[in-house]
Every structure is written in structure tokens, then in C-alpha cells.
């Protein structure tokens, strides 16, 4: 009996999993990929990385589908995110970039709501005028925008 050749070698998946701190699943046929994703989705969100036509159903079934740079058109259309390069290190960069973006969003919400709360209270107490509160709100918009622009300089920190 001939040994089945898998497109997803376990060594590659294991290396990526260790980098991201995730438990990878590899060396599965298309039907088994769908079954594994269904089983894992019960426990929480599932990310699927694929590059071929046989990966498209699993990419669609996962919480986040990631297509590699040299993927087929079907995989690219089905995936939620596409890596520009055909390098698996891009998955770690994608996760790190997503975490940085979420952190920035949380900072911006806290900053904007904090300033609004401060100037709402001071205006109600008569310490500041409504015009100052309006200017502070405009200033908060500028601060939030400047904080978001920091992401343009964001680089992946290599270990």
C-alpha cells in the first residue's frame, strides 16, 4: 500500500504553532479538515491557513481563513485574509499585527471616552464652558487619529 502524500507537513505546522503559541493540526485530507474545524470550533475560534482548491471549504468553515501568497484564486476568494508573500512566517506577522491593532483600538476608545467623561463632568459642574468641551472633543479626535497613525510605523519584532 502506498503512503498518502500530504500537502501540509507536520513539521511546518509544528514550527508555526510554536511561534504563535498555538496547537496546530496538519496532514489532513479535505473532509478531515472540515471535521477537525467543526470539532475545534466548539472549543473556540479556529484559524485555517491554506493555499489550494482543496483548502477552500476549510477556509470558509474556519473562524479566520488565511490564504498564502501563491494561493489559487478559489482559496484567495474564500479566505478572510491573504498573505502577500508565500512565506509561512507571514502568519505570525498577521497575528502580531492584529494584536497591535486591537491594542490601538482599545487605547483610542479609552482615550476618547475618558476625555469626553472628564469634560462632561467639568462642564456640568461649571468648571469649563461648553465651548471648551467642544474644543476638547476635537482635540480628542486629533489624539485618537495620531495614535492610530502610529500603526503605519509598526514593525514585527523578531525573536
- Domain of 134 in residue numbering reads as 91-153
Residue 4 in domain: no
* Of 88, 47, 85, the residue nearest 66 (C-alpha): 47
19 lies in the same domain as 80? yes
| Of residues 68 and 156, more confidently modeled | 68
The pLDDT tens digits of the residues spanning 41-65 come to 999 999 888 888 888 899 999 999 9
Last residue of a domain, one of 69, 87, 105: 87
Residues 6+ positions from 55 with CB-CB distance below 8 Å: 30, 33, 48, 75
Q: Note whether residue 74 is domain-resident.
A: yes
Q: What is the mean pLDDT of residues 130-153?
A: 94
64-84: pLDDT as tens digits: 999 988 778 888 888 999 888
98 and 131, same structural domain?
yes
2 within domain boundaries: no
- For 10, the grid coordinates are 507536520
User: 105-124: per-residue pLDDT in tens?
Assistant: 999 999 999 999 999 999 99
Least confident of 20-24, 80-84, 125-129, 137-141: 20-24
Q: Is 146 contained in some domain?
A: yes
CATH of the domain at 49: 3.40.50.1000
Within-domain flag for 5: no
What confidence category does residue 148 fall into, taking pLDDT thresholds of 50, 70 and 90? Answer: very high
Is the domain of 26 the same as that of 76?
A: yes
Q: How many domains does the chain have?
A: 2
Same domain? For 45 and 82 the reply is yes
Per-residue pLDDT, 1: 40
pLDDT > 70: percent of the chain? 93
Residues 76 and 132 in one domain: no
Q: Indicate if 53 and 80 belong to the same structural domain.
A: yes
pLDDT at 66: 92
> Does residue 19 have a pLDDT over 60?
yes
DSSP for the chain reads -PPPPPSS-HHHHHHHHHHHT-----S--HHHHHHHHHHHHTTS--EEEE-SGGGHHHHHHSSEEEE-TT--HHHHHH-SEE-SSS-THHHHHHHHHHHHHHHHHHHHHHHHHHHHHHHHHHHHTTSS-HHHHHHHHHHHHHHHHHHHHGGGG------
pTM metric for this prediction? 0.72
Asked if residues 83 and 16 have their Cβ atoms less than 8 Å apart, the reply is no
Q: Which of 98, 96, 82 is nearest to 48 (CA)?
A: 82
Amino acid at each position: 500500500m502506498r503512503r498518502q502524500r500530504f500537502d501540509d507537513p507536520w513539521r511546518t505546522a509544528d514550527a508555526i504553532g510554536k511561534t504563535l503559541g498555538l496547537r496546530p493540526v496538519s496532514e489532513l485530507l479535505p473532509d478531515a479538515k472540515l471535521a477537525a474545524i467543526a470539532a475545534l470550533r466548539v472549543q473556540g475560534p479556529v484559524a485555517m491557513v491554506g493555499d489550494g482548491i482543496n483548502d477552500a471549504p476549510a477556509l470558509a468553515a474556519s473562524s479566520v481563513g488565511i490564504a498564502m501568497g501563491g494561493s489559487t484564486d478559489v482559496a484567495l476568494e474564500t479566505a478572510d485574509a491573504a498573505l502577500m508573500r508565500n512565506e509561512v512566517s507571514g502568519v505570525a506577522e498577521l497575528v502580531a499585527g492584529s494584536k497591535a491593532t486591537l491594542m490601538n483600538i482599545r487605547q483610542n476608545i479609552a482615550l476618547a471616552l475618558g476625555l469626553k467623561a472628564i469634560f462632561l463632568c467639568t462642564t456640568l459642574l461649571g468648571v469649563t464652558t461648553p465651548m471648551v468641551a467642544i474644543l476638547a472633543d476635537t482635540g480628542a479626535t486629533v489624539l485618537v487619529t495620531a495614535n492610530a497613525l502610529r500603526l503605519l510605523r509598526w514593525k514585527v519584532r523578531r525573536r
